[in-house]
Amino acid sequence: MSRITDTAPSGAQGPSGVPQIDANLRVNGARYRLRLDTRVTLLDALRDHLGLTGAKKGCDQGACGACTVLLDGKRVVSCLVLAAQCEEREVTTIEALSQNEQPHPVQDAFARHDAFQCGYCTPGQIMSAVALIAEGRAGSDEDIAEFMSGNICRCGAYPNIRAAVRDAAGG
């Protein structure tokens, strides 16, 4: 799937006088060519330009983890990454985790362990957990707590989140 937006030359200025770029993004296996203000974050490109609203805008300062996505398989807080930095890199969002309408094992574990209350932080928590498990860092509750510490749950569902990660990791 490919989507091309405005075709004005790269470097042209937008309505605000800020330079525009053509960003070629690979998101969830699809390619997109977007005309963006050079200051647009990956989070805003995903939400506002591609309609992928799974990553949540929490603090907009990189402190809460609600906007966590995978960039080339590594977790990043997308509010601190410029979309221009993601040129030809693979971005994976919560929308891509389930396959054939079957939840990802981490999503399934979060549901089984009731690892959410309001649910706002859940997409970021799940994306971080997927990367944590892939990194082999789910050895103990202490490891899970340490490596998930960038993801804040204001409802305090941490024990259930740790149990879900431990379960999904096979422990």
pLDDT tops 60 at residue 139: yes
Gap between the Cα atoms of 87 and 94, Å rounded: 20
Tens digit of pLDDT for each residue in 12-62?
666 677 899 999 999 999 999 999 999 999 999 999 999 999 999 999 999
In tens, the pLDDT along 68-84 reads 999 999 999 999 999 99
Rounded to two decimals, what is the model's pTM?
A: 0.89
What domains appear along the chain, each with residue ranges and CATH number?
2-93 (3.10.20.30), 105-168 (1.10.150.120)
- pLDDT of residue 8 exceeding 50: no
pLDDT of residue 13: 67
Q: What are 128-137's contacts with CB under 8 Å, separation 24+?
A: 128/65, 128/68, 128/75, 129/161, 129/164, 129/165, 129/168, 130/70, 130/97, 130/104, 130/106, 131/70, 131/73, 131/74, 131/75, 132/75, 132/165, 133/106, 133/165, 133/168, 133/169, 134/73
pLDDT in tens, 92-137: 999 999 999 999 999 999 999 999 999 999 999 999 999 999 999 9
